[in-house]
Every structure is written in C-alpha cells, then in structure tokens.
Amino acid sequence: MGTDAIQDEIIEEFSIFDEWLDKYNYLIELSKTLPEIDQAHRTDNYVIKGCQSRVWLDAEMTDGKVYFTADSDAIITKGIIALLIRVLNGRTPQEILDTDLYFIDEIGLKENLSPTRANGLLSMIKQMRMYALAYNSKK
C-alpha cells in the first residue's frame, strides 16, 4: 500500500470522531501499536531534540528500505510517532523524502496540539527525514 493510501486510511479513521477528545483517545490506542524500540536505543543518542516529552527514534535500512522503531514517555506523543511510522515505515529513503504528510493537516492534528507538541511533531518528521537523507547518501 502506498503512502497516500495509508494517509487516506488514517484520515478516514479520524473522520469518525467529532470531538478532539475522542481523537486523543484514539491516538492513545494507536500508541499501543508502536513497534517496540530496542532498550539499547532508549538513550540520549536517540532522543529527538525539540520534543517536550522524550521521544526515542531509531532507523535501520534493510534491502533498500528504512524501518523505524520508536518510543516515548508520553502516550499522545507515542500515538503521533506511531502514525508517522505507519506512513513512512518500509519505504525507500527517497520515498520518505518525497512523501507529503498531508494527513496531519487533514485530521487537524497540528492545530489541536499545544505549541510545544506541534514543534515536537515537526522535530519527529525532521528526524525521520534526516535518517532517510543519511541512508539515501549511502546508496
């Protein structure tokens, strides 16, 4: 399934909720789907700078595709990174760099986050793209 199809699926899932409180609860549920990060990667070397809560992100490339693992000490943030991983996981570095993450605006995520969480969201995206850029240059 392509990144647009996954994003459309996410938009549809969030569209069933009218209230943002329900959407937050759904994000909390999504946090439980996050692939577990190796404990060795829960260190400061893997912390995303710019997030209010602690978010650890790791990526590895296998057969030309990037696979992410992450964790956070905040459940809403964990749900947000789970969404990003759902869209970008198992893609080539170039696909990650080229993907327009339009679902964020479509579901109203950015404007329903506190300014510090919105900055954290941008930091998560930036870090995922930095991994893709690094892997892309190693081809």
Please give the positions annotated as active site: 51
Other beta carbons within 10 Å of 6: 17
At 76, list the tokens: 């809403």
